[in-house]
């Protein structure tokens, strides 16, 4: 089965694109969703995180305090690396396990940090969702209501646009209408069906 790695910076429209692929019947395996599942109460990954970071990162209900952990690792590369070394191998293993259960010409691995985590080796092609930075700012402000300084910090912590594009086999430019996005997705869907091993 052909595996497409879908990635892009915050506010580029990854969710819109993945929803369209799902609507076309394409299985999508989302790294963020798996990471969320892995840190649910009583999961081994959560226990490892608590061992590494401390009990203060648990909520009173015994779940992970995501916002506190996000703040702790955001400006601390060493701590971020420690978190990644716990989560990324488990996420990778689970994505490949789920892909093994799928019977389809191709599937999509949605990996927002594909560039940053050097995981292009686990996919056959890289699809980058790209938007001008100005539009990213506008969308994140509208969606999350974050201040400009915080948005700037998030964008600075992610891979540079040029680095993502350098990895890309395919690019969807998200700077127009929803119809324009759908048209690009539909075109790639046809392309991937032709590239898929079964065809």
Q: Set out the domains of the chain in order of their start, with CATH numbers.
A: 1-27+106-199 (3.40.50.300), 33-101 (no CATH)
pLDDT digits over 111-157, tens only?
998 988 888 899 999 999 999 888 887 888 888 777 777 777 777 77
Torsion angle of C-alpha atoms 113, 114, 118, 121, degrees rounded to 10: 160
Beta strands 2-8; 106-110: pairing state: parallel
- The H-assigned helical ranges of the chain are 14-23, 31-38, 44-53, 66-74, 77-100, 133-144, 148-157, 161-167, 178-195
What would the pLDDT profile of 49-75 be if each residue is shown by its tens digit? 999 999 999 988 888 998 888 888 877
Rounded CA separation 177/26 (Å): 22
At residue 198, the pLDDT reads 67
Q: How far apart are the first and last CA of the chain?
A: 10
Cβ(114)–Cβ(120) below 8 Å: yes
Sign of CA dihedral 61, 146, 173, 160: negative
- Buried/exposed code over 173-192 (b: 16+ C-beta within 10 A; e: otherwise): ebeeeeeebbebbeebbeeb
Q: Model confidence over 86-115: pLDDT tens digits?
A: 999 999 999 999 999 999 999 999 999 898
Provide the 3-class DSSP secondary structure of residue 124: coil
Instruction: Report pTM.
Output: 0.88
- Asked if residue 162 has pLDDT above 80, the reply is yes
């Amino acid at each position: 089965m052909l595996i497409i790695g879908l990635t892009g910076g915050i506010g580029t429209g990854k969710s819109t694109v993945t929803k369209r692929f799902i609507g076309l019947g394409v299985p999508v395996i989302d790294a963020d969703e798996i990471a969320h599942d892995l840190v649910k109460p009583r999961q081994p990954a959560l226990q490892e995180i608590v061992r590494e970071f401390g009990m203060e990162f648990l909520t009173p209900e015994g779940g992970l305090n995501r916002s506190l952990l996000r703040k702790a690792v955001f400006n601390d590369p060493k701590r971020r690396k420690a978190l990644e070394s716990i989560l990324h191998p488990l996420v990778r293993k689970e994505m490949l396990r789920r892909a093994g259960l799928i019977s389809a010409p191709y599937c999509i691995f949605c990996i927002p940090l594909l560039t940053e985590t050097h995981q292009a080796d686990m996919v056959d092609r890289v699809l980058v969702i790209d938007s001008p930075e100005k539009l990213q700012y506008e969308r994140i402000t509208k969606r999350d209501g974050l201040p400009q300084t915080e948005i700037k910090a998030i964008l600075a912590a992610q891979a540079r646009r040029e680095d993502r594009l350098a990895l890309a086999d395919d690019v969807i430019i998200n700077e127009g209408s929803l119809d324009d996005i759908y048209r690009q997705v539909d075109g790639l869907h046809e392309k991937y069906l032709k590239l898929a091993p079964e065809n």
